Structure 1
Amino acid sequence: MTDHLPIQLALDVLATRHAYAVFTVLLCIGLYMMIANPHLVKKIIGLNLFQTAIFLFFIASAYVHGGSIPIVESGGAPEATLVSPLPQVIVLTAIVVGVSLTAVGLALCVRIYTEYGTLRTDALREAMAEEDDLPATGADSQGGERA
């Protein structure tokens, strides 16, 4: 009976907090897209879904019912429940990092597409294996390395 306790607890949390169920679904969809999809752009989209689910989870878990902004005027006592601004700041920073990561990933996709003509990982593996098997010819044999 105790073996199923963590699973039952997780199901109870998902049943009572519907937002967490949505975050879990988004997280699973993003993870599935990153693992199962052979197209690089779709992997980047999956990464963005995964990141978004984490951001939403972090903000939702920091929510305080009845909380107010943490500004105390002079002479006032902080008797009310205050909401910490730290989770929002961390998520804003993570969004900037995520957008930068997406931009770099898409730039790499453009470069890969111009070099190999495809963004499918299976075709890229085959093309790279063929390149490794071919002897160096042309500009590559004159001492220049291919980027």
Structure 2
Amino acid sequence: MTLGFLQQLPRDSTNPSASIAGDINHCPLDDPEIEWERVQPYNRTSRCLPRASEDEPWRGNRIVGQIFRDGEFTDVGGYFEDRQATGKAGLLRVDQAHVTPALRPALRSYQRVDPGPASDHYGISWELDLAATDTTCIRAYT
């Protein structure tokens, strides 16, 4: 997902509540560090911060989670304290869903879903009760 793609999304000024989900491929903001030595080198280099030396420990890159936080999004898995890895070969919760403040009180459940051999990732699903949307959080897009 690129910034250009996000900028092209239609904007609904009457109801800017939203959710965004996908294979984010970055560390969730509040998840604990994983054992990066157990992760394939190509995944470490794409999901970790650059190291100053070989002796420095690997640390997850949380920039995407920081951007979502600064945009007032809520990490759905984190909200339900479900931090199970979603990559079957990895240790990280790379598949994530985030919702805007208006949808936070509408969150009812979250779960990891096993697609069997159809994917190398677990899916995620979450339930919203849209009647519980906090309309005081909805403001006109300007």
**What is the TM-score normalised by the length of structure 2?**
0.26
**Structure having the larger proportion of residues in strand:** 2
**What is the TM-score normalised by the length of structure 1?**
0.25
**Structure having the larger proportion of residues in helix:** 1
- More RCO (CA 8 Å, sep 6+): 2
